[in-house]
A and B are shown apart, each in its own frame.
Chain A
Amino acid sequence: MRAYLTKRYRFSASHRLHCPEMPAEENRAVYGKCNNPHGHGHNYFVEVTVAGPVDPKTGMVCNLADLDGFVNEKIVKRFDLENLNTLSEFAARVPTTENLCVEIYEILQREFHHAEVEKVRMEETMLNSFEYAGGREPRH
């Protein structure tokens, strides 16, 4: 029986939305306040959804200790209290929450093997959220 398990994590980071290929005026027009050269920060929420059959011996899709251990080590520790623009992941990409959401999904897809990774949903603020399921339509 296939079930879905979602766990919510949080971290805080700063970023500046700026595309070096655009002239300064275009950057200001496209990104508005987010183009402030000093950057600004958010308290991000990350929801990781894993899926798979429920193991009859444990009753679990995935042991939460494995999921928590991985996400805290590889994602929260990597991004918490960092300036996203200074990280290698964003050397060639603007650190929008869209790109951050895709990056986190790809880390999980590549390195987390205890269950299928269904999707990543991120909240940048209480009013903005983003979801990525590897190009598939996320299950709702």
Chain B
Amino acid sequence: MIGVARDSATLQRTSAEARAAGPGRKHDLRAVKIVWQRELIRFAQDRPRILVSLLQPVLFLFVLGTGLGSLVSGGAGGVSLRTFLFPGVLGMAVMFTAMFSAASIVWDREFGFLREMLVAPVARGGIVLGKCLGGASVAAFQGVILLALAGTVGVPYSPLLILTLTGELLLLAFVITALGVLLAARIRSIQSFFSLTQMLLMPLFFLSGALFPLTNLPTWLQVLTHVNPLTYAVDPMRRAVFARLSPGGHPLSTDVTWGSWRVPTLLELALVAALALALLAVAVVQFRRPD
């Protein structure tokens, strides 16, 4: 009697394993895709959010850029301050939108929907990846809308430049979303999430070289800006813009250097990508823990 029961149990177990192994990967991919799609749908439905999150970068670019620009006679080294700020403002728009997207996990938890996702028979990693890709797509899209303003600040609409910047924005968006998702794994209230991320994002943004060149800084600021990972996400964008403006090298194209070594763009991007993957991995581990 016991033997029979055990046999039927093993039988059921092996069939279960077969079922699990069969659709496994493909099934997880479907999960990534649907979680990603949901982020896009939710974003597309939220028109006010699209407009509001464009407001801040536009203020920085046109109001701050024009206002402070009048302090610098003849512009900043031949280009207007607005042009200089453009890549930084793109970065800013993406950073804040990406963090906002990551906050959706906290909302989802509060309204119960996170549970629907976490009880599904899919790898948690798939859900976390879908969330990160969704947040990154939405934030990069926000950046692309701002790219449309390039002409108004003296940046030419070159297809190659736009493509390069879009790719770089996507990477920046991904790293920030991954950070946000990682934080959202632990933070249960939306208020705490927003206060913590604002506290975190502001210094990261200010120290990223988005608003000023990173040369001729006092040592303390030099050190802080160079350990800030976002510096390596913003600098490639500025390099791309200046390379298009003055192919011969621009005095303000103050590339990030380690000592006297100019950090290659690819290495900068690789650093950011590595950080993004590391954050993603930690986030997956966080969400895998049983409740």
B is bound to A: no
